[in-house]
Chains A and B, each alone.
Chain A
Amino acid sequence: MTTALEVRNLSVEITRHGHTIRPVDDVSLSVDAGDCLGLVGESGAGKSMTLKAILGLLPKGARVTSGELLLHTAEGTLASIDPISVRGHGISMVFQEPMTALNPTRRVVDIIADGARAHRDMSKSEAHETAVRLLGEVGVPAPERRARAWPHQLSGGLRQRVMIAMALATEPDVLLCDEPTTALDVTVQDQILGLLDRIRRERGLSIIFVTHDLAVIGQVAQEVAVMYAGRVVETGPVRPVLDRSLHPYTNALVTSIPHVDIGTDQRLRTIEGAPPDPANFPPGCRFSPRCPFAQPDCTRAEHVLVEQATDHRTACIHPEALASISVEGSP
């Protein structure tokens, strides 16, 4: 498998009122050509920030303090690139809120045509034809008519399809999806996930899919990276990571997925405590204060991802504790 995109040792810092926090701390990710990498974690884990850093779209005050971005080239090698230069060339992004991510004063067709014209010379009418064709491809009914619409005239689901068409118009190799289905209702969510999966296969596209929803990851991703408090704590192929988690945090996320057959007298399972404040991360393993398996040496643990099974890496220094529990303790 060739690597389509690799992020090496990315750190993002924010300085406000003299205090510096690091919401993304030494994050490395890679996604293979034609694959979907799921990036999971709670709010504030640094998932969106990581995606935005890849395109140089960090909010005011946030900056990349270290890291390298490598993109697969036509020559078959990985080349180091600058985030801003990949906009409209190679990498594009689908945003979380289709209600606010489309320019309200621009017609759908022009929004998409802008993307088509951004990366290559194309006449206005060619760009329009491309836009209408893309609307059809992403499943917008009556694309010629819808092309003339303003964003506010479309439903949330249609807007997200337009957003995907806009991202595809730049003919990217890698699509970054920032919780693209969170704002949509469940049936529409399913359709959009199906659409993303289809275009990934048809176009050989690589996707990095950010979500807090593990069920969604199981549906769309081949690989998964779990983030906690600014760091990647576990990576690997999707089934092993979800079924045989090697990090207590991943395990806790998996066991807190509510099941339909839960009794009405049972409480939903949650993770004790709250995610740590980025201004005051705990020492060693950042999950240790909330971890039911924590041992004294966890607070001194160095953050290293160690391969425990084929391609399955964890930062937990006591993965055996979790393994024994899940064998004996499964209900």
Chain B
Amino acid sequence: MGRFGFVLRRILGAIPLLIGITLFTFILLQLVPGDPALTLAGPRATEERVEAIREELGLDRSLPAQYVAYVGNLLQGNLGQSIRSKEPVTSIIRERTPVTVWLLGAALILSVSIAVPLGAHAARHRGGWIDHAIRVVSTFFLTMPPFWVGLMLLLVFALGAGWFPVGGFGETTAERLRAIALPAFTLALWIFPIQLQSFRSSMIDVDGSDYLQAGRSIGLEGLTLFRRYILRNATAAMVTLLAVQMGFMLFGAVIVETTFNLNGLGDAMVRAVSGRDFAVVQGITIVFAVAVIAINLLADVIVAALDPRVEIQ
């Protein structure tokens, strides 16, 4: 009951957050300068034509009425339709989600594979030159903007060496892996430094702990000591960090998808914003928000499972 109740309470707790997000995106778009009806009608449209479009889109109604209509549709799984392409927003999202999921998944795996061994190594040799070298390199990548790193990787490995495609996604898994490699690496280089520092300090905490000494004192060593005494104690903080980083990664996906011409959600977001396609912007914002909330919820559950001291009542 304990764990189930905990999850249920967290889901219920997310509802006001979701309402807030719909309200926030709705208001934000009202504040953005520019009239979608004007944009859509084009510069030479008559006054009547613009009025007709406005009516068609429901833009002539009061703001609360527009919001209620929007949320009502949302609850039915209807995110409206694109002002530009007339396509339903849900089908745009469905089409583009796999690209972004591939990108974020690959970036997450890559970044953790860089951060964990390097962080453990830095912790073991803390204060030594290896530790300093790892810190300098990771700080360097932390300060490099992903669009610049992306462009450099493109220049060297796609245009130069020709090992990877310059842009676009693929059909088969092999094609997709090749297409996703550079963008995922770009994102990974951006997010791994914080993971590394967090894992390094977790490892130092565990390494200096009395309980690790106690574990050693009864003869535990090597892999057994690592599995039973180090792993669980060192990973809980990392799981929380990864969930927090999801927000940054979605922002990173917007940049990287544009750089690598990947037709993911981030790319759709950029296009929709520049085209004042507010239904699409709202739809993707909500998808991002739900994703971040869900992943943080998942992380809480994992941390509660890893660390018995986390109260789940």
Give A contacts to B, CB under 8 Å: 52, 55, 57, 87-89, 92-93, 95-97, 100-106, 110, 114-115, 118-119, 150, 152, 163, 166-167, 169-170
Contact = CB atoms under 8 A, between A and B. Distances in A.
A163 B213 CA distance: 12
Interface in B251-304: none
B219 A95 contact: no
Contacts of B309: 104, 150, 152
20 contacts: A52-B213, A55-B217, A93-B217, A101-B211, A103-B212, A103-B214, A103-B215, A103-B233, A105-B233, A106-B229, A106-B232, A114-B228, A118-B219, A119-B219, A150-B308, A150-B309, A163-B214, A166-B218, A167-B218, A169-B218
A106 B212 CA distance: 12
Contact of A115 (B218, B232, B306): B218
A247 B212 CA distance: 38
Contacts of A57: 213, 216-217
A114 B220 contact: yes
A61 to B, nearest CB: 10
DSSP class of B's interface residues: helix, strand, loop or mixed?
A: helix
Bin the interface of chain B by size. 20 to 34
Contacts of A110: 228
Interface string B199-243: 000000000011111111111100000001100110000000000
Nearest to B236: A105
Nearest to B308: A150
Contact of B211 (A87, A89, A104): A104
B239 to A, nearest CB: 13
A180 to B, nearest CB: 12
B192 to A, nearest CB: 25
B307 A105 contact: yes
A100 B216 contact: no
B153 to A, nearest CB: 39
Given A102-B211, A106-B229, A114-B220, 13 more contacts: A55-B216, A57-B216, A87-B219, A88-B220, A92-B218, A104-B309, A105-B308, A115-B218, A150-B308, A166-B214, A167-B218, A169-B218, A170-B218
A182 B9 CA distance: 42
Given A87-B218, A105-B232, A100 B308 contact: no
Nearest to B213: A57
A210 to B, nearest CB: 14
Contacts of B232: 105-106
Nearest to A110: B228
B218 A118 contact: yes
Contacts of B307: 104-105
A106 B307 CA distance: 9
B228 A103 contact: yes
Sorted nearest first, the 7 A-B pairs with minimum C-beta distance are A88-B219, A118-B219, A115-B218, A101-B210, A150-B308, A105-B232, A87-B219
B218 A105 contact: no
A131 to B, nearest CB: 12
B211 A103 contact: yes
Among B215, B216, B217, max chain A CB count under 10 A is at B217
Contact of A87 (B217, B229, B233): B217
B213 A95 contact: yes
Contacts of A93: 214, 217
A119 B219 CA distance: 8
A104 B306 CA distance: 10
Contact of A104 (B213, B219, B308): B308
B215 A152 contact: no
A114 B229 CA distance: 11
Contact of B214 (A101, A119, A152): A101
Nearest to B212: A103
A152 B218 CA distance: 21
Nearest to A172: B218
Contacts of B214: 93, 95, 101-103, 163, 166
B230 to A, nearest CB: 10
B228 A106 contact: yes
Given A57-B213, A101-B213, A102-B211, A89 B219 contact: yes
B120 to A, nearest CB: 15
B210 A97 contact: yes
